Amino acid sequence: MRVTKLITFIVQFATIGLAAAFLILYFQSEKGKIEDEVKPQAATEIVELVESTRTSPSAPLNSYAPAVKDAAPAVVNIQTTKIITERQHPLLNDPAFRQFFGDSVGEPRKRMESSLGSGVIVSPQGYILTNHHVIKAADEIIVALKDGRNAKATIIGTDPDTDLAVLHIKLKEIPAITLSKIHDIEVGDVVLAIGNPFGVGQTVTSGIISATGRNMLGINTFENFIQTDAAINPGNSGGALVNSYGELIGINTAIFSQSGGSQGIGFAIPLSLARSVLTQIIEFGHVKRGWLGIAIQNMNSELAESFGMEKVYGVIVNGVAKTGPADKAGINPGNVITHINETKVENTRHLLNLVSQVKPGDTLSINGIKQEGTFTVTATVIQRPNKDIE
String of DSSP letters for 173-213: S---PEEPS-----TT-EEEEEE-GGGS--EEEEEEEEEEE
CA distance 292 to 328: 10
Q: Which CATH superfamily is domain 77-168 in?
A: Trypsin-like serine proteases (2.40.10.10)
pTM of the model: 0.75
CA distance 94 to 90: 7
pLDDT in tens, 309-358: 989 999 999 999 999 999 999 999 999 999 999 999 999 989 998 999 89
Name residue 258's amino acid: Q
- Asked: is 178-284 a CATH 2.40.10.10 domain? The reply is yes
More confident residue, 258 or 214: 214
More confident residue, 261 or 315: 315
The answer to whether residues 167 and 153 touch, using CB atoms and an 8 Å cutoff, is yes
SS3 content of the chain, % helix, strand, coil (to 5): 25, 35, 40
Domain boundaries, the chain: 77-168, 178-284, 290-383
CA distance 364 to 354: 10
- Same fold flag, 77-168 and 178-284: yes
Within 8 A by CB and 6+ apart from 390, the residues are none
Within 8 A by CB and 6+ apart from 244, the residues are 60, 61, 64, 67, 189, 190, 191, 192
Q: What pLDDT score does 366 carry? A: 96
Q: How confident is the model over 56-85, as a mean pLDDT?
A: 84
CA distance 287 to 383: 9
Residues annotated as catalytic are 133, 163, 237
**CATH number corresponding to 290-383:** 2.30.42.10
pLDDT in tens, 297-309: 999 999 888 888 9
